[in-house]
A and B are shown apart, each in its own frame.
Chain A
């Protein structure tokens, strides 16, 4: 029982890793907490659903479409909202991101209604290994996320773009002096973040049913993961996501499953009280 919950928790954690990474990247490079992270995930789910179910594409093509759609939405939001408000400070930006979140969520609701939907994928029997039941979807989620994380890590560490992103995150004016265009880096960050959230939306849609609140249900857990890892730290976000995933699933042993979401909230509160910089972060949360 505990082993099964631990395993499920790891998979949930991997699923959370992509949006948590997206949140932390936006925070690092663009310096605000993007509250539209859940809604963008929802958009990814619906884009993939349209491609997969209505247009009859295979899941890989649907995932690509989801990634492109959300990246596009991120670019639009950046161009028309976030960039214009950049100089007004992080509070204005986070309130604006809440507005963007409402817009995206309700565009999905307008076209697809509140009904629950699912991808058109063949059902397969779960595999049993050492008494643990492993679903096909869980394997897909784990492999996709691990591949994505390795790709993002390589991108951030070894490519000119990654170096530029880290430079802007560290000190935007200094990066500008060295010829790194903040604006271009911001756009490329949104493309990367959008792709991550689009894929996360596809994986979430494999894991549970798709409705306009699918992303919102992950929102607190995503923030908990990113804060746990220290906002702005990519590796921290991944470790935070795994911890939150395991903590949420294992909590079923001690508290009613209805209160699973409270675990993330409790983790945030405890962290902010006792270790405000997160596990790996350097950025001070206290004033």
Chain B
């Protein structure tokens, strides 16, 4: 049971990182990214290939950087476009990443996947036993990323991103460089997705292309919508509740004997789809809505009294 909870906690951590990244891109900056899985896969593969050579920490940094560079590149090409076009370009990017991973066997070992990815603090983990060390590492990583992103959301950069999301024309008229700001938001989101991919690779220690399907993207969207677009704290709740829902349906198999494995996964994915649509209709603000700050809140109490 403990082992099971540990597994869930780590899965939630990975989902939370991916979700935080999408929450920055889509929730705060209003940029639809349907290619989330591509960036996660790039992070995971960069980590898997580099960690045995240069150590886990540099590998993770490279994973984040590579993913950020590709994000920025894609954003430079397509972010001036209307949302509909950005959505299809990012889907296309995700598919291209999948094709490259499948077909460039000399680098990625194709469908066979890459095994024996070293975990951070592996020797310490062996000394203590179990996944204790790894779970602390995963939670700490989420905490650090969360803190950084939350600082960013509160900073002038975060404010101007939300302003662009709500009305790009007005923000541009106020002299902000909407294009550059969007590219930066997209790149930072990409970096976090790359790091999420690194955590994924560290945890499973084996990756192959079948782990990186568009479903990863769907989970991230579900987590952002469930938590409340734009709210980092809500995202954490969203990621937890989604994983609870997904893992809860796993037990269905014990009660309903007619359902086989394929049907179970179909049921879960179908529920995610239904969840996205239902939440958008019934609770668009999410479980923990983004705090709407008014201009007056930015003034100190004295100023308000005056």
Contact = CB atoms under 8 A, between A and B. Distances in A.
Interface of A: 27, 32-33, 35, 80-81, 84-85, 88, 90-92, 94-96, 98-107, 109-110, 113-114, 212, 216, 219-220, 223, 227, 231, 256, 258-259, 261-262, 264-265, 268-269, 272-273, 276, 284-287
B89 A269 contact: yes
A21 to B, nearest CB: 17
A95 B273 contact: no
B50 interface: no
Nearest to B273: A102
A264 B95 CA distance: 11
Contacts of A35: 34, 87, 91
B78 A272 contact: yes
B276 A91 contact: no
A99 B280 contact: yes
Q: Which 6 A-B pairs have the closest CB atoms?
A: A102-B273, A99-B276, A106-B270, A265-B92, A109-B266, A103-B273
A286 B91 contact: no
Contacts of B78: 269, 272
Interface in B241-289: 262-263, 265-267, 269-270, 272-277, 280-281, 284
A100 B273 contact: yes
B103 A259 contact: yes
Contact of B95 (A32, A81, A105, A261): A261
B221 A95 contact: yes
A88 B276 contact: no
A97 to B, nearest CB: 9
22 contacts: A27-B84, A81-B280, A88-B280, A92-B280, A94-B83, A95-B32, A95-B221, A96-B277, A98-B221, A99-B272, A99-B273, A99-B275, A103-B270, A103-B274, A107-B270, A110-B263, A212-B266, A258-B99, A265-B95, A269-B89, A273-B77, A287-B80
A27 B214 CA distance: 23
Contact of B99 (A90, A231, A261): A261
B203 interface: no
A255 B195 CA distance: 32
Interface residues of B, number: 43
B78 to A, nearest CB: 6
Given A231-B84, A258-B99, A268-B89, 19 more contacts: A35-B87, A90-B83, A91-B30, A92-B284, A94-B87, A96-B276, A98-B276, A99-B275, A104-B273, A106-B266, A106-B269, A106-B273, A110-B270, A223-B92, A264-B92, A265-B92, A265-B96, A269-B78, A287-B80
A95 B225 contact: yes
Interface of B: 30, 32, 34, 77-78, 80-85, 87-89, 91-93, 95-96, 99, 102-103, 168, 214, 218, 221, 225, 262-263, 265-267, 269-270, 272-277, 280-281, 284
Residue among A91, A219, A259, A286 with most chain B CB within 10 A: A91
Contacts of B77: 269, 272-273
Contacts of A212: 266
A284 B274 CA distance: 32
A258 B81 contact: no
Given A265-B96, A268-B92, A102 B272 contact: yes
Contacts of B275: 99
Nearest to B215: A102
A223 B88 contact: yes
A88 B284 contact: yes
Given A96-B277, A258-B102, A285 B81 contact: yes
B284 A268 contact: no
B69 to A, nearest CB: 17
Given A95-B221, A273-B77, A258 B277 contact: no
Given A99-B276, A262-B96, A272 B34 contact: no
A110 B274 CA distance: 14
B178 to A, nearest CB: 8
Contacts of A106: 266-267, 269-270, 273
A104 B270 CA distance: 8
Nearest to B272: A102
Contact of A95 (B96, B270, B280): B280
